[in-house]
Structure 1
């Protein structure tokens, strides 16, 4: 499992969790979690055993 972090300080951050590196429909249909930033995203990844992919 891998996680992508995307967004901005102004708009907010979203953590998208996929089974493997992905794009297109698989990325759109993946689990999305709203987070406050990298610290919270890292905590979620560590708890779930997910590899942070793009940060």
Structure 2
């Protein structure tokens, strides 16, 4: 698997996590800080500010 494939998988997984409608609104509100950190990580991935290493 190429590095681009792993990056795409990481990006897709983070986006799915943020958009998952199965999480009740109360739980989403309680996890708002965590979701904010995940969104920040996704933004950094998309702008090339962090990289994923695969061994």
TM-score range, shorter chain: under 0.3
TM-score normalised according to structure 2 size:
0.25
TM-score normalised according to structure 1 size:
0.25
The structure with the larger Rg is: 2
For CA contacts below 8 A with separation 6 or more, give which structure has more relative contact order. 2
More helix by share: 2
More strand by share: 1
